[in-house]
Amino acid sequence: MSQEELAHVAALDRSYVGRVERGEHNLTVVSLIKLCRALRCDIATLGQGLPVGQPTVLD
């Protein structure tokens, strides 16, 4: 699926999808949900293989 097709199905701007793909822009929760629906996957599947930071303990 091209960025243009994904953007259309997810109702997002193509340039936004491109910036997210290149790591130049962080996703909002709403955009993440739109992309997951467009790709027919859940958030856990989309995030597989991404590094997870260590929790920070606050005093």
Contacts 24+ apart (CB under 8 A), 9-18: 9/38, 10/34, 10/35, 10/37, 10/38
Q: State the average pLDDT over residues 2-21.
A: 95
**Where residue 35 sits, what CATH number does that domain have?**
1.10.260.40
Instruction: Tell me how many domains the chain contains.
Output: 1
pLDDT of residue 50: 72
**Position 12 confidence tier, pLDDT thresholds 50, 70, 90:** very high
In a domain, 31, yes or no: yes
In a domain, 51, yes or no: no
Q: Model's pTM, two decimal places?
A: 0.75
In a domain, 27, yes or no: yes
Whole-number Å distance between alpha carbons of 22 and 43: 19
Domain carrying residue 25: 3-43
Of 7-11, 14-18, 45-49, least confident by mean pLDDT is 45-49
In a domain, 50, yes or no: no
